[in-house]
Structure 1
Amino acid sequence: MLAKVITLKHSAAGNGFAPVMRYIMRAAPDSALPDGHMLEGGHINIPDEALFWALHENRLAYAEDVASVLDRTADACRLRGRFHGNPVYHVAINWQEAERPTASQAERACRHVMQSLGYGDHQAAWAIHRDTDNDHVHLVINRVHPERFRAVSPPFKKDYLILDRCMRELELEFGHQRANGPFITLDSDAGPQIVRMSRAERRERGLLKEHGKPRLTRGAAAAEHRLGYASFQAWVAGAPARDLRQALGSPAPTWADVHKALARHGVTMQAKGSGLVVTTRLPDGRVLAGKASQLGRWASKAELEKRLGAFVPIGCTPDLPAVYALHIEAARRQVQPTQPSWGRLGDRENASSFSGTRRDPDERALRRQQRAEARAALADRFKIEQDVLRRDKPRQRAEMRERHRSERAALQAEQREARALAYAAARRDGQPIVVAQSLWAWMSAREREALQERQAEERKALSVSQPRSEVWRKWLERQAEQGDEAAQAALRGIRYRERGEARHQRDGIEGDEVEPLRKLVLAGLDAQIDQRRQQVRYRDSGGREMFTDTGRRIELHDKSADSVEAALRIAAQKFGGRVEITGSAAFRERATRQAVRLGIRVVDADLAAIVADEQASMRADQTRLSTESVGESGRGAGKPLKPHVASGLPVAKADQLERNSRSQMANGL
């Protein structure tokens, strides 16, 4: 038996329980029950008198009745202001092939799962689906408690382990065939024992069915079994993965090279959660996706960012060739797919036209007309796409803000885990805690700085407006890379005109004005541990000693702006965003103003006036820039940013990392 948490459109937030109840009770058009079949199902912790209809009388009315009860419970929680999320928790419990669970067994399995997840007293409904090779039960639980009206979340990142152990327990209870998952049932002298095994242990015992293929999701594996040809997740690990690996093997590869290599196969790489996914779009609009790591371990986000730096998205998704769709069509016809050379489709004529004979003038005129129509269609497509992008800008900004917030939260959680591991390793190895703390703060601040710089560049890229001619040319270049013949012809015309104009211009050198990236002050630091003094010394890439972390103090040896900023960032990461600054009056003022610009809180009472003055100066600068931008554009394009947004660094929240710690940075800080 296997169990899986379902996140389908039927269970989406905001839809309530009605769609998912219609789906599992086979009362929706996309899940209709075949004629002559009876549905087995029921409800849990819902009084019978609360429902007007019974399942065997009218499935649709019964589904609506149950959904109404569940929605009323969730709404009561929302009215109290305690919950605004998705109350639906949807689980599928699958039996192995040839196993036919009874209704009582199905309900018993549902109650056992609910009890194990902490939902024993919650309302739920279930139904058996027998229309596949494996009988399975859909269990829908209301996360809101029916009496306390509080939403209960399952243990984060552990519910799949709880569900897998439940399956092993139910297999023993029902006497069913045993399946393999994170938990394995082993026979011993004391009887069957359920034990947790890592993937390495299961691989060693031969319990993993890998056979050198990428690990597929259940949906992809089911599609392969049902349709008889390679799923997208298996296909993308072939030619697209080989081209991507070849691109990574070139000198100094970039994220643009990655996107270009995948685009030849109609594949894009995007960020999702804490990782990366590869996707393709079918002609009917459906999007197929898989983890980037399914191309190989070398294609995971961590491995790619080690080589290429922080992930850079492709930006505006171009029109891509439907290579996987061609593969599907060829597989259906049982012929070898013919993959076009998408990188070189710029031939003016078909190869058959060059047979050695002179071309027909009528044919040439026809082709000229076709090229003109293609250019007109290209311009219309560009106009429509730009209109959509302009209307879509607010949504993109909102999505980017939410994605940035999620990235910061994910990084913060990872850094908390890394700190606990670093401290544990220091205690185990006998290393001083102050050294482990300093190294953790340095690494965490460096990761945070890199994230802030990338997010600032993404915000800037979304806000910058370019001349229409420049946008048109870049759009043409993207289309030409994907093999659009009309775009390639338009680019050739632009270059021809430019060569003609260049002959009549004066001698000179031209180029676009580019604002250089701000230097990452932490990226080039090198940490050296002084075991005798239990200190960590930080040097720059040239070997120059910048500052020393002595535990409760960071002593500066170099007073440059980069050195002070690096020390401030490490102190903020290490001591919860609050610092005290010591030293000469001139240095204390300079470091305080720099800390304010970075969003770091200075707690010295005698420096409060300098803090207030610098904050006022920042507000004045933002107002001035906003006024200038409004004067230039007339549309308020220079809306002032909040201080922490303008600096690229969110204001550190005191007491989140270490509530009672402070830094004293001697000889400077």
Structure 2
Amino acid sequence: QNASRTKKAMFDRLVDYADRNDGDDRAVVITDVFPDGRQRLISGGISCETNCFSWETSAAEMNMVAAQSRRCQDPVYHFILSWRENELPTDAQIFECAEHCIRQLGMEGHQYVTAIHQDTDNTHCHVAVNRVNPITYKAAALWNDADTLQKSCRVLERKYGFIQDNGSWQWGVNDQLVRAPFRYGSAPQGTVPLQVYSNTESLYHYAVREVREKISELIESREITWRQIHLALHERGLGLREQGEGLVIYDFLRPEGPVVKASSVHPTLTKFRLEAHIGPFEGPPTFEHEEWSYGISSTYQPSFELRDKDVRFDRRQARAEARLDLKMRYKRYREGWEKPDLHVKDRYQQVAARYQAMKADVKRSQHDPLLRKLLYRVAEFDRMKAMAELRIELRDERQALAEKGLLRPLAYRPWVEQQALRGDVAAVSQLRGFVYREKRKERTPNGGFDRLIQCGQADDSAVYHLRSYTSHLHRDGTVEYLRDGRAGVIDRGDFVHVKPGFNDDDELDNYRLAANLVSTKSGDAVRIIGDDQFVDQVLDAGCGVNHR
């Protein structure tokens, strides 16, 4: 193997490049030393930082630690942070940015060297980190590292006042990091002031919120038709019609009201683009069928005030922090997990020692060579039998550990399921988040849409443990409360489904349980869906909860 491609040469070359080392006569001046072992220095006119014992021995130290991991073939992790031409960050800011990125990558405490270069138009720094942990000698997993660095850069740009760069993450309107979406055009003139000053939602913003994603899904399916477009809009109380030479979206219940240009809601909703693929424009079908797909599930309400976005943001922020804490707990679980020790070697040695002692006793007590040889054979046969029994015993023990999930560390989702069974609200929320992320559409049993208490989206609550009910937690976060083997109440997060009982007492208990479940949610939105008797029973149970 070429020496220049060994692990040792990787660190040597990178450190030499970082401080522009042309020889061994460069001057190294230490400028700062920190209590945690970090030191900042100037090497050959280059500002550097490392947490190794010294800059001169940093490459050798990282080589020695990397050599302890046989599986890690590429121990060097190198990345560059760069700033714009008109930005002049201080050395301290650059080093703090590098440390923040290392922490976010999960390599806090790993050996690293950072060097600042200002020999180009853009100030930049090189960061070389040893993936092998100096304590555990395990290599850090760097899956999705580029995305992690993108998110870290957005945080650092805001912290130090740098210009936000383009990337996979961006700051949302509520000061929350969100995925950078496909960039649609800006809102039509006048729609934003309408929302700000009147505190009511504009038709444009309602259409964007309700149908833009649905239209994108239809386009991606490559099976889009004019009828499907009309049905998607009609489901949200909107309509599409020709006006002039283009298309406009209007309120289906108030067709004479304001309209919005269709291409502003989705850039593909133009006659020029659609007619080339699906033919000339077709008007809406007749919505007189009893089929459910022709129904209107929501409508534009121009007189309703906007929801309290601050409260909604606080709930979302709290949910995000709880899930982040859940991930950190899982990470600590993985780091602290130890494989169960079955003492295999000691048990084999004990069996071997027992029969060695037996042979020694035969040798000492038996003087007849033929009888002694026969007893040796008997002892050897018993030893082989004991070894076979021990192998079977160890196999059964491993199988039992595997069935309990103790033989290997649990994956994230099974671990979350265990935490949810223990009553962890964040874990239950994460299970439902898996479902939302995969865009599964939850439907009520038998396709019915009655006997429901609808709550806010992703409105999570912990699992109730009651004597009269048995709770059954599903992998998607749905919790069924069973009584005598039959589901009485089903909590799906955003709605609670109340099932009929065997008798009046069972049904009243179901109502009380449902009311208690809803009382633990945020209360941001509560809507009772069902006949008059069902609504009265739920309200009566809710009054009982309030009185208590």
* TM-score, L = length of structure 2: 0.29
* TM-score, L = length of structure 1: 0.24
Greater Cα radius of gyration, structure 1 or 2? 2
